[in-house]
Structure 1
Amino acid sequence: MKNKKYTLRQHLQGVREGMSPQVRAATNATFVTWITRLGVAGQPEIGPEATIAAYVPIGTEPGSVAMLDALRDQRHRVLLPIVGPGDPSPLSWAGYDGPESLTVGRFGLLEPAGAPQPGSVINSADLILVPALAVDRSGNRLGRGAGYYDRSLQSIDTKRLVAVVYDHEVLDEIPGDALDVPMGWSLTPSGGFHRLGTT
């Protein structure tokens, strides 16, 4: 199982690295468009001024800070993860107050500079945008392998979890195990928000 996941991760990361900056920029602009449609028919159900947990993409990850700004423009409260010291453990979270509020944290990740809130704050989120290397049609997510998100999302209703991936990263099947937290939605550039089989 671990070897299959490792091989799949290597392949998917290689494809991402082969994408041109122009393609990534166009793709990320499309993600922003989908974010502005949150709450309309066929999208995840959220109310006005919702709490939405997201992430700051790095490298070839799908998405952009513009997605976070689009959420704030819609008056949503945005939470971003903070990676603590030591072995992998549940993430802490803090509010996003614009690009100038970001600072470099562990592993070179951009994180909010505000005081970290305990991991339990994620339980109050109406929607959680989760970074992924891939997701399958049943909701199995392939992450980077450290398990930070799986440890953080154990008690979250699947219907609130959205795997953000490129179009080719929605697969028929991903090997999973008991610790993997299933996703209820995918968000892709061409398809927008799409319900997965676990909802």
Structure 2
Amino acid sequence: MQSTKAQVRGEILAARRSVPPPTHAAEAAALASHVLEFVEAGQTVCGYVPVGSEPGSAELIDGLARHQVTVLLPVARRASGGAALPLRWGRYRPGELVDAPFGLREPPQPWLPAGAVAEAAVVLIPALAVDRRGTRLGRGAGFYDRTLPLADDGAALVAVVRDDELVDHLPSEPHDVRVTHALTPRQGLVTLGR
């Protein structure tokens, strides 16, 4: 019997909470190092600030900024009816993040429209897991599923996960947007869907 998305989410979140802080820090440093291997100075990258037990750290986006990369960070909001809206974007400037809904940190206004994701050569995407076909398992809110169709066709859509969160198969639905790559601490950038 196949697991449901909710079951897989629960298992991964529990496993992430059990990762010792020194292991999390070492994995975050590896991710920050790997991203500089494939992002070029002058490019625009859509990133995010990890929260809780998510892989990575603020050092990853700081490293990109020092590498002369324009970093855009997501601004997540819901419509008045509660549905997730496509992400808007704010330009990252070190030291200027503010508290935001959902326990996130984001750049202060002014914000760019959702279509700004099309400027990015690389979109770094938080994920709980990703499979080798490019099926990404997020937290289920739908922000990225509404945003990724706006990305440039040539952009690298990169799910950031721990090594054991790159799996052979995940449950998927027709609205799921496939990613092109995974970024893991030990393997670095992994091409998906081949």
TM-score bucket of the superposed structures, by smaller chain:
over 0.9
**Contact 2:114/2:147 (<8 A) preserved:** yes
Cα deviation per residue 1:163-192 (whole Å; 9 max; x = unaligned)? 000000001001111110101000000000
| Aligned partner of 1:119 among 114, 117, 120 | 114
Equivalent in the alignment of 1:29 = 29
1:152 paired with 2:147, answer yes
Identity of aligned residues (%): 38
The one of 182, 186, 192 aligned to 1:190? 186
User: 1:143–1:158: structure 2 CA closer, same or farther, 3 Å change rule?
Assistant: farther
73, 98, 101: which one aligns with 1:103: 98
**Aligned match of 1:78:** 71
Question: Match of 1:89?
Answer: 85
- Give the CA deviation at 1:108: 1.5
Q: Secondary structure at the match of 2:150?
A: coil
TM-score, structure 1 as length reference: 0.91
Gap regions ≥5 residues in structure 1: 40-46
Runs of 4+ in 1 over 6 A off after TM superposition: none
Contact map agreement 1:159 1:183 (CA 8 A) in 2: no
Query: 5+ residue gaps in structure 2?
Result: none
Q: 8 Å contact 1:93–1:117 — kept in the other structure?
A: yes
1:18 aligns with 2:18: yes
Amino acid at match of 2:135: N
For residues 146 and 102 of structure 1, the distance between their equivalents in structure 2, rounded to whole angstroms, comes to 22
Give the aligned length. Answer: 189
Which of 65, 89, 92 lines up with 2:58 in the alignment? 65
- Which residue identity lines up with residue 89 of structure 2 in the other structure? W
Corresponding residue to 2:44 among 51, 58, 70: 51
Considering only aligned residues, what root-mean-square deviation do their CA atoms show, in Å?
A: 1.5
Separation in 2, partners of 1:8, 1:175: 9
Take 2:154 and 2:124, find their aligned partners in 1: how far apart are those partners? 12
Contact 1:82–1:91 (8 Å) recurs in 2: yes
The answer on whether the counterparts of 2:97 and 2:106 sit within 8 Å (CA) in structure 1 is yes
